[in-house]
Chains A and B, each alone.
Chain A
Amino acid sequence: MDQKFEGTPHAEIRLEGRKVVRGDVTHDWGLRLQWEVRRNGQVIATPPARLEASYEHADATPGAYEIVLQMWKYVDYRKDPAGEFVNSRFIDISNKVGYTI
């Protein structure tokens, strides 16, 4: 049997200054949990979010920042010739928060 993943993970996140804080993840699939940090729409960091419930991005380059919590969604292990997954991907599992520097 291939692995099954129950439900859909979800968490609420909030900003405290420039620090983003997450609540517990419900229906946690147990796969990689990460913050996706964007500046002016471009992904600039994807640090892990499993161990700590908060994260503050150190880079203070001016711009519009947006952060969301993501989890890996396993569909299958197929990969393209470059080695990247074809169907499996990271999905957003939280609301988005943002700030401007």
Chain B
Amino acid sequence: MLNFGNEKVPVCHGFTRRSFLQAGSAGLAGLTLPALVQQQVAGAVADGKIRNCITIFLVGSPGHLDTWDMKPEAPAEIRGKFKPIDTNVPGVQICEHFPLMARMMDKVALIRSLHHKTGATHENGQRWMMTGHDFNPDSVKPHTGSVVSRVFGQKSELPANVILPSPIGNTGAGPLHGQTAAYLGSAHEPFFVNADPAAPDFRVGDLELPAGQSAARFDSRQRLLGQLDDLQRRTEARSTQMHESAYHRAFRLLTSPQAKAALDLAREPDHLRDRYGRNTFGQSCLLARRLIEGGVRYVTVNHFETVFNLTCWDMHADGGGLNNTYLDYERHLCPQFDLAFTALIDDLQQRGLLEETVVAVLSEFGRTPQVNARGGRDHYPNAWTNFLCGGNIRGGQVVGSTDKIGARPSNNPIEPPQILASIYHGMGIHLDTTMLPGPGERPIRLVDAEPIRQLF
């Protein structure tokens, strides 16, 4: 059976269509249509000059005191092992293990007073930062990219909302990570690449015709589907008609040279691939740029899909399955992020895309000011640092601050919905006039917060 990406959820809810597809799964291209290609429903807002967004999500969460909010004057058990270095913005220092980023701090707006007031689980932080909302199991909220997909639709044959290399998996406290379309429906589910761009055989396998399927035969099946669509359009409800577009988009994506080209990293020169770093994260960032060029509106790069049994930002140093330490930060995580992030910003700028693309680096929370007995730091949602650049965001500045040990915001406290509102604003979306059809199609704000005005 043929699928797009790894998205296995059939969207065919109509009896007639389901029967049609099931019957045709062998004979009609073997196609299970993914949710992502369902056409946007009525009520979309005119596109205008809406910018794009790339969100880099640091799963596990870096310690703010070890990265972008250092406290060199604090006691040793607070300030940690790393030293700050100057950046190209006078008075702004960051960790010594981000030397490349330090040279482009004039493009970056650090937000050092971020905090949330819910439990210190990864999932709470993920849902805050992916949706802009607190978690309510009775009203799961959509991913920001799904909101953008719902409101603005696709602008090319590529999906509006892509997550790569894979969705966030097990981070300890349940399956809800804020990376779904929720009530917006299957049409706006993120497209998960679900393949490793650093793998030598990288391909989004489901964007291939099944073995033995010729393009001509596929086309004939598409024409047949079109004829049946015409027949049903005259007899069925509008909700079914929405599926028609989904089918045609599915076919277009499957056969789209544009989609295949966007996903083909081999088209990039070796020196640029090296510049991003020949690893999963670096090549994912490069792929994000290609997808934005190809017409994707919102790309999320998950830096890791889990926190267990691998090097990641979750530095508990517990001696077991969560055993990341300062050595992982120094040798692996900080260098990897530093190279890929700065490559992305440089690359976007050289192509004239940085002003058209907000780049947001987000995480779930900070880490405890006090280094724990094993030399790690634990979850800490009371204060942390994330940052934005690109779009119309004014770089070279710091929003807010924390107290002398990084325990609490001491100035201009910022909560997650304000970050999401700022991303929307940075993309050129007017939150007072652009509404989202909520449950029951009633218009609601995209997020219940105002943008951080200092950023613009």
Query: A interface vs B, CB < 8 Å?
Result: 1-7, 9, 24-33, 48, 50-51, 72, 74, 76-79, 81, 83-85, 88
B311 within 8 A of A: yes
Q: Say yes or no: B278 contacts A30, CB within 8 Å.
A: yes
Count of chain B residues with Cβ under 8 Å from any Cβ of A? 41
Within 8 Å CB of B324, what residues of A?
77
The answer to whether B336 touches A30, judged by C-beta atoms less than 8 angstroms apart, is yes
Q: Is the CB of A84 within 8 A of B327?
A: yes
Instruction: Check: B139 CB closer than 8 A to any chain A CB.
Output: no
Point out which of A3, A29, A74 has the most chain B C-beta atoms below 10 A from its C-beta: A3
CA–CA, A54 to B277, complex, Å? 20
A30 lies within 8 A of B277 (CB): yes
CB distance from B337 to the nearest CB of A (A): 9
Contacts of A85 in B (CB 8 A): 327
Contact A77 B311 (CB under 8 A): yes
CB distance from A6 to the nearest CB of B (A): 4
Q: Is the CB–CB distance between B100 and A27 below 8 Å?
A: no
Q: B422 within 8 Å of A by Cβ?
A: no
Q: Mark B138-171, 1 if CB is under 8 A from A, else 0.
A: 0000000000000000000000000001100000
Is the CB–CB distance between A72 and B325 below 8 Å? no
Shortest C-beta distance, B168 to chain A (Å), equals 12
A31:B331 contact, CB within 8 angstroms:
yes
Contact indicator per residue, chain B 370-402, by CB within 8 Å of chain A (1) or not (0): 000001000000000000000000000000000
8 pairs, CB–CB < 8 Å, chain A vs chain B: A6-B279, A27-B278, A28-B274, A28-B275, A28-B339, A30-B339, A31-B335, A83-B375
Q: Provide the B277-317 mask, 1 if CB < 8 A to any CB of A, else 0.
A: 11111110000000000000000000011000111000001
CB-CB under 8 A from B276, the residues of chain A are 30
B73 within 8 Å of A by Cβ?
no
By beta carbon, the residue of chain A nearest B169 is: A1
Beta-carbon contact of B331 and A72 below 8 Å: yes
**By CB atoms of chain B within 10 A, which of A33, A48, A78 has the most?**
A48
Q: When A and B form their complex, which 6 residue pairs have the shortest distance between CB atoms, in order from nearest?
A: A30-B277, A6-B278, A51-B99, A77-B311, A4-B198, A72-B331
Q: Does B353 contact A (CB under 8 A)?
A: no
Shortest beta-carbon distance from A94 to chain B in Å: 15
Which chain A residues lie closer than 8 Å to B274 at the CB level? Answer: 24-28
Q: A85 — nearest CB in chain B belongs to which residue?
A: B327
Q: How far is the CB of B326 from chain A (nearest CB, A)?
A: 9
The answer to whether residues A77 and B279 also contact, given A4-B198, A5-B198, A30-B340 and a CB cut-off of 8 A, is: no
Q: Which of B100, B200, B275, B310 contacts A3 (CB 8 A)?
A: B310
Complex: chain B residue closest to A84, CB-CB: B327
Alpha-carbon separation in the docked complex, A33 to B375 (Å)? 24
Query: Which of A6, A26, A72 touches B198 (beta carbons < 8 Å)?
Result: A6
Q: Is the CB of B305 within 8 A of A6?
A: no
Taken together as a complex, chains A and B put the C-alpha atoms of A28 and B280 apart, in Å, by 12
Whether a CB of chain A sits under 8 angstroms from the CB of B196 is yes
Interface: B32 (CB within 8 A): no
Contacts of A74 in B (CB 8 A): 311, 332
Min CB–CB distance B161 → chain A (angstroms): 21
Give the residues in chain B near A77, CB-CB below 8 Å: 309-311, 323-324, 328
Contact status A50-B99, CB under 8 Å:
yes
Contact with A along B318-345 (1 / 0, CB 8 A): 0100011101101110011011100000
Known: A74-B311, A79-B323. 14 other contacts (CB 8 A): A3-B279, A6-B198, A28-B274, A30-B340, A31-B277, A31-B279, A31-B331, A31-B336, A51-B99, A72-B335, A76-B310, A77-B311, A79-B327, A83-B325
- With beta carbons under 8 angstroms apart, the residue of A1, A29, A72, A78 that contacts B278 is A29
Q: A30-B336, A74-B332, A85-B327 are in contact. Are A5 and B100 (CB under 8 A)?
A: no
Assembly CA distance A55 to B183 (angstroms): 57
Q: List the A side residues contacting B331 at CB < 8 Å.
A: 31-32, 72, 88
CA separation between A83 and B324, bound complex, in Å?
10
In contact, A32 and B279 (Cβ under 8 angstroms):
no
User: Nearest Cβ distance between residue B23 and chain A, in whole angstroms?
Assistant: 35
Which residues on the A side are within 8 Å of B328 (C-beta)? Answer: 77
Contact with A along B189-216 (1 / 0, CB 8 A): 0000000101110000000000000000
Contact in complex: B323, A72 (CB < 8 Å): no
B-side contacts of A25, CB under 8 Å: 274
Least CB separation from A30: chain B residue: B277
- Tell me if B271 counts as interface (CB < 8 A to partner A): yes
B193 to A: closest C-beta gap in Å: 11
CB-CB < 8 A to B327: which residues of A? 79, 83-85
Q: Does B270 lie at the interface of the complex (its beta carbon under 8 Å from any beta carbon of A)?
A: yes
Question: Which residue of B100, B166, B200, B304 is within 8 Å of A51 (Cβ)?
Answer: B100
Q: Note all chain B residues with C-beta closer than 8 A to A72.
A: 331-332, 335
B198 CB to nearest A CB, Å: 4
Would you list which residues of chain B between 91 and 141 have a CB under 8 Å from chain A? Answer: 99-100
Q: Are A30 and B282 in contact, CB atoms less than 8 angstroms apart? A: yes
Q: Report whether B278 and A2 are in contact in the complex, using a CB–CB cutoff of 8 Å.
A: no
List B contacts of A33 (CB < 8 A): 335
